[in-house]
C-alpha cells in the first residue's frame, strides 16, 4: 500500500509487537483507541454509544430501551435512564397497572 495513513488516525492505532520468528513481517493493528465522551443518557465517560431496543409482550406489548454502557433502562414516564435492569420488570408492571 503506497498511501500514508493520516497522522490523526495513526496516533489512535495500537500495533502488535513484532514477532521475533518473522522479523520482516508488516505491523498489524491490534486495536484502535477512541476518544471518550460523556454519554447523553447515563453521563458516564464512554468511547462508543450503544443502546438496545427490545420488544416485550408482558404485561402488554411495549418496547424497552437499554443503555449497554451502564445497563440502565429508560423509564417509561420520565424518559430518563434511571431504572436498573434488575428492577425494570417491576417498574414497567407498576407503570402499566397505574396507567389503566
Helix intervals (H) in the chain: 7-10, 85-99
Q: Tell me, yes or no, whether 2 lies in a domain.
A: no
Rounded Cα gap, residues 43 and 22, in angstroms: 45
- Is residue 78 in a domain? yes
For 72, the domain range is 37-99
Q: Is the dihedral of CA 4, 10, 16, 17 positive or negative?
A: positive
Q: In this structure, are residues 19 and 49 in contact, taking their beta carbons and an 8 Å threshold?
A: no
Average pLDDT over residues 89-93: 88
Residue 56 lies in a domain: yes
69 in a structural domain: yes
**Cell of residue 48, nine digits:** 462508543
Assess if residue 26 is contained within a domain. Answer: no
pLDDT at 19 over 70: no
pTM reported for the whole predicted model: 0.58
Residue with cell 424518559: 79
Domains in the chain, number? 1
8-state DSSP, 27? P
Beta partners for 43? none
Q: Decide if pLDDT at 1 tops 60.
A: no
Helix (H, G, I), strand (E, B) or coil at 43: coil
Higher pLDDT, 3 or 91: 91
Residue 58 domain flag: yes
Length of the chain: 100
Residue 13 lies in a domain: no
* Residue 75 near residue 62, CB atoms below 8 Å: no
Model pLDDT, residue 21? 67
pLDDT digits (tens, 9 = 90+) for 49-89: 788 999 988 888 999 999 888 888 988 888 888 888 888 88
| Residue 67 lies inside a defined structural domain of this protein | yes
- Residue 54: what pLDDT? 93
Amino acid at each position: 500500500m503506497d498511501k500514508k495513513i493520516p497522522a490523526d488516525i495513526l496516533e489512535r492505532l495500537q500495533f502488535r509487537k513484532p514477532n521475533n520468528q518473522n522479523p520482516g513481517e508488516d505491523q498489524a493493528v491490534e486495536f484502535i483507541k477512541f476518544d471518550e465522551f460523556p454519554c447523553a443518557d447515563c453521563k458516564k465517560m464512554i468511547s462508543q454509544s450503544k443502546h438496545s431496543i427490545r420488544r416485550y409482550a408482558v404485561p402488554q406489548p411495549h418496547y424497552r430501551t437499554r443503555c449497554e454502557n451502564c445497563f440502565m433502562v429508560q423509564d417509561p414516564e420520565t424518559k430518563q435512564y434511571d431504572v436498573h435492569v434488575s428492577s425494570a420488570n417491576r417498574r414497567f408492571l407498576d407503570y402499566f397497572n397505574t396507567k389503566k
